[in-house]
Amino acid sequence: MLFYPSGAIKVYFEAVRGNITALQSDQGLALPGEDFVTGRRSIVIGNNEDVGSIPVWVIDDDTPELGEVFLVNITGVELVNASQLGNTIPPSLGPHSVSQITLLSNDDPKGVFKFVQQR
């Protein structure tokens, strides 16, 4: 939730490898570039809006995998067109700037068994 009196806010974020909570026995760390798209990006939350959505891109594959996790960090915020609005108080990050994303087990994570017919 965003609490700022006026003006659009630009929010910078990045998806990175890591975890906040202890991994379960059936979890691992997701790999940047293989399991999710990494990089620094931004969104704009418009004037008089109090919520914005941060897009996260998961890379689909057909590799059997157990659950995996990665992080999305909010790295910065700034007022858009601050000079035009005359605001002197810049926005700042609150205490909750990291979220852990969990990718569920997929593509038959326990394995695929095939039997070849003997001739």
Q: 13 near 98, Cβ under 8 Å?
A: no
In a domain, 108, yes or no: no
Per-residue pLDDT of the chain (119 residues; tens, 9 = 90+): 455 556 789 999 999 999 999 999 889 999 999 999 999 999 999 888 888 999 999 998 878 888 999 999 999 999 887 666 665 677 888 888 999 999 988 766 565 556 677 77
> How many domains does the chain contain in total?
1
Residue 115 maps to a domain: no
In this prediction, residue 51 carries a pLDDT of 87
Q: Let me know if residue 61 belongs to a domain.
A: yes
- For 58, phi and psi rounded to 5 degrees? -100, 135
* CATH code of the domain containing 29: 2.60.40.2030
Q: Measured between alpha carbons, how far is 70 from 99 in angstroms, rounded to an integer?
A: 9
Inside any domain, residue 4: no
**Contact assessment for residue 72 and residue 98, using Cβ atoms and an 8 Å cutoff:** yes
What pTM value is reported for the model? 0.78
According to the model, what pLDDT value does residue 21 have?
92
Six-digit token string for 67: 């659950």
Distance of alpha carbon 72 from alpha carbon 13, whole angstroms? 7
Which structural domain range is residue 89 located in?
A: 9-103
Assess if residue 39 is contained within a domain: yes
**Chain mean position to CA 24:** 20
